[in-house]
Structure 1
């Protein structure tokens, strides 16, 4: 009996902590930061800003070529894009900077081209490092979910189709909070 009570308390506490941690991210509930991606590929436009996505959900999926988890999830993200076409737009944001030198890393372009071919994904991508710096993004995946009005609804490490269905139905899914280099 005591084990059951302790187990229920632990599950209750961890579930509550997960729900609260998402609300604590500094971007959540705020207007999407203003930006312009000037090098966008596999999309109808070569450069985009948040205004281009008003009226639909936007998933900004920040990743780098050293993030195995990011790459592994791309087929599922591609499926999510197809499932919610017209309501949701996924935009990968590939890191072009270098954490170790001051020279840009241009190899991600060829790297993503190989991923598209090998994994049969057709997700648009913006090549950028400015937003990584502006948002202090360190560990990836780092996913920003923006609603049709341009308000950030989540900053997470992953989003699945059932999570997106919750958003579309007006429910807030419990998602793992992503943290940036500042711990926010």
Structure 2
């Protein structure tokens, strides 16, 4: 499910920094970043490709509308937006210039990876690999896009989800348009709005103090608030202070998993449970947010000490979610789709069984390369599949090899292409095949009583 994919992008960094997906600029927020309705900093784009010049200066762009799209190899959301950006560049050719500006990290070939993706997707976007300009413009995370008008004035600093035809039309016409402001000043203003280590509404943390016996709070998340969540509802019960569960910057389906399983299953890793809610609701878009900030929430539940039990918190949380989202959940055993890692040639596969200290590296996508050393084979399917396109439940992968041993593999394949991965695996005696498996799953439906 896409919402879980967004959980991976925003919340998992607190747990194990998944994946992803956001790339953090070096250093702290400081003066010098672009300000709205102010002249853009004097910049130089170096190592420019697919553009008449290999070096582009700010003065070269005077009289032109420009969008600088900053990205990194680790940002899956950035990369998935490239085809959209390419289409918009073609639509507004001659009126708007879009530059992709990649962060050149140590041992990561951002320009090389873009070439691989560009050729595969037939893109024509101009690109630059320039860490100096990246650090000059990006205060926090990517995606990070700076809109500069024909007079050199910064009109917007946005996420990729705000780059759409209607906004571009307004930008070119000099009209204001709605967007999520992620400029350095806006992020700094919101930075301490919610402190995940303190109770909401206490001591001015997110609002004024109130007098309550117990409470639950649900609010929309905004960039700058931070993202944090325990993977299990009873983790907070073991800490000193008011018994509570708190999560900031998480999608709705993560809240539902906590409410009905008591865990997101990432930490529990129970193979008998399916880690994505199955949604049968007219408002299913709530569970599949578009973009890194679409439908992310802050939630907190506090109870008196005499009610501080895991099952009590789960029941209360279920009621809160039912009341707000107008849906009901049920845990049941059923068949769910999956990708199964199997042995296709036992003789070949057994050559890759090894022993020793695990040194798994995973994907190096810009090189079309995957490597593991002494990795427990149960971890292999998830690592192979996590960069595949689509919703998270469409790439739910399990180990069905029955080997129960560590393996060492080197694969040459495209991380975002299942056919390419399968072809590389078959050469090693394995395969990743679509199938189904029985699991305990959370099914979410519109509530009958609530509809009456």
**TM-score w.r.t. structure 1 length?**
0.77
Instruction: Return 5+ residue gaps in structure 2 as ranges.
Output: 1-32, 189-452
Q: Secondary structure at the match of 1:131?
A: helix
Instruction: Return 5+ residue gaps in structure 1 as ranges.
Output: 1-24, 98-103
Higher strand share: 2
CA distance in 2, matches of 1:66, 1:124: 20
| 1:179 shift after superposition | 4.7
Q: Deviations over 1:75-101 (max 9, x none)?
A: 11111111111110001100003xxxx
CA distance in 1, matches of 2:186, 2:72: 19
* Alignment map for 1:27-46 (pairs within 5 Å): 27-46=35-54
Question: In terms of mean alpha carbon deviation, does 60-69 or 130-139 score higher?
Answer: 130-139
| 1:138 shift after superposition | 2.7
CA distance in 2, matches of 1:130, 1:164: 27
* Alignment map for 1:148-167 (pairs within 5 Å): 148-158=150-160, 159-167=163-171
Partner of 1:60: 68
Partner of 2:131: 129
Partner of 1:178: 182
Distance verdict in 2 for CA 1:53–1:105, change over 3 Å: farther
Partner of 1:110: 112
**TM-score w.r.t. structure 2 length?**
0.33
Higher relative contact order (CA 8 A, sep 6+): 1
CA distance in 2, matches of 1:118, 1:161: 25
Question: Radius of gyration: which is bigger?
Answer: 2
Q: Deviations over 1:30-57 (max 9, x none)?
A: 1110011221111100101111111110
| 1:107 shift after superposition | 1.3
CA distance in 2, matches of 1:96, 1:52: 23
Partner of 1:96: 104
Higher helix share: 1
Runs of 4+ in structure 1 over 6 Å off: none
Partner of 1:83: 91
| 1:161 shift after superposition | 1.6
Q: Secondary structure at the match of 1:69?
A: helix
CA distance in 1, matches of 2:138, 2:145: 13
Q: CA RMSD in A?
A: 2.0
